[in-house]
Structure 1
Amino acid sequence: MKPVNEWVEYYIKTLILVEQASEHTARAYAQDLHQLEKFVGALDQVSTKDIRAWISSMMKQGLAPRTVARKLAVIRSFYRFVKRQGWRTDNPANRLLTPRFRPLLPRTLTMDEAHDLIESAKNMPGPLGLRNWALMEILYGAGLRSQEAVSLNIADVDLTSRFVRVRGKGGKERVVPFGTKASQALDEYLLRGRKALVRTRTTALFVNYRGGRLTTRSVRRIVKNVLATGAIQRNVSPHWLRHSFATHMLMNGADLRVIQELLGHSLLRTTQLYTLVSQEHIAKVYQNAHPRA
């Protein structure tokens, strides 16, 4: 059996290498586990009562139920892993109830805002501008996560059939279609952008100015730079484009289960959050348009 102080390290490595979790997610998980360890002591001796006391302490400190629920999910996942490895015979977090909270609606762009944002990227000059345009088109056009986009290789993209092979969470693969606008952007980028940026052999589709594979941090910076051109005055993250993809698909009549497949969601209830977003949109349209609203 591994020493207890190596449990977290091994768990985090497994998250990154096997389950394809992002570095940001892995750091957050590690932080939650270290907080529990600081509160209760050695992780191999933690009991259900200890975790309940930790949860109670966080609630008394005023942490939002959503935050506490996320931390509990991390602890539950960690001890499920520990039990699977045979380091403990139980999962002390299993019997605890998750704090109830109202689902947070995904933050989205309007269709006009999505169009304006992508057009701003399209108008950026040089090879990096072509890359930014193609990246924004594929994030919105295929509903990809940032990690999925930066993990793409050239061989994953079929410009003829307009499909992209995506490696999602947990290493699960899915094939997602993209439209003519994304196809045009990718074609331009591959012909005139990527060739000017790549200096050594690499399979990466999206590269930085030195020719290396983009990171998720780079994607956030790219979106921030596009926003700085004055496209829209909102603090937009790359994930907004994925949320917007799903919401706009639903608003235009797409079946919820098809959207689930396109997004790579394991559970339909995750995708169902987008129905709440579209209902909110319908209510706003009604309020603005109906004479007796």
Structure 2
Amino acid sequence: MAHLSEETLTLLALGEAGDPRSREHVAACPDCAAELASLQRVVRAGRAEAPAVTAPGPGVWAAIHAELGLSDEVAADPLAGSGDGARGHVPDDSTEDPTEDPTEDTAEDEAGRATGPADSAAADDGAGRGGATVVDLDARRRKPRRGVPYPLAAAAAAAALIVGGVSVWGAQRLGLEPEPTVLATAELEPLAGYTARGSAEVDERPDGSRQLVVRTDPADVDGFKEVWLLAPDAQRMVSIGVMAGDEGVFVLPENLDVGEFPVVDVSNEPIDGDPTHSGDSIVRGVLEV
């Protein structure tokens, strides 16, 4: 027995009026019936309405503003005064009848499967499946798609990221916090056996804390890269932390006098359990105010 074509099954799944013989074939052919059921599930999923998205309340921005210590110029909630379309409600810009039951198509499909394709064909008056109106595909294509306004989506995403725990360094890169003040910079020059170069700077953040930002070219190391601040005679030093890659950001202790330890040093440290400097420096430079 020859099976129905994909085009015929697709039209049946969309609710288009079909040849009674096609419906009789589906009723008698398990393979075509299974294929039609699969296509109907796809159609129902494509017609399903997307859930409305609710914007964050005004307290979210107030918490963000206080946590990051932002200026008074950006104290106002960016979503305030933007209307119902931006706060707690997504406007319905479609032309659908508000009394229309969104489950109507699903109910029709279920009814069609319950009575069987052959019975549905018998009740078909030429207007569609079981007397239902044929779906106007062109009209559906012309309906505007529902969605969240771009400014709302962007603000909600930023709020979710910050509330979820974006670091201060990440907030700076997102432009949500004022740029830190550069207190000192250094050009890092390669030492014997290396060709990598780099840079370092001490920044003061809006909350008054300081951070050391170190960047280097890739270097071939047999262990890991550790950042140090050295006294000018290189006899005293403080370990600042380990670089996981070619850039590292380290919060400096409040009582650390950078003027007493102005030399930035990045060393190649073997994994030997010895916390002291290996004596194998990759780059080094002096911080200048």
Same fold (TM over 0.5): no
Q: TM-score, normalised by structure 1?
A: 0.20
**Structure with greater proportional strand content:** 2
Higher RCO, Cα 8 Å, sep 6+: 1
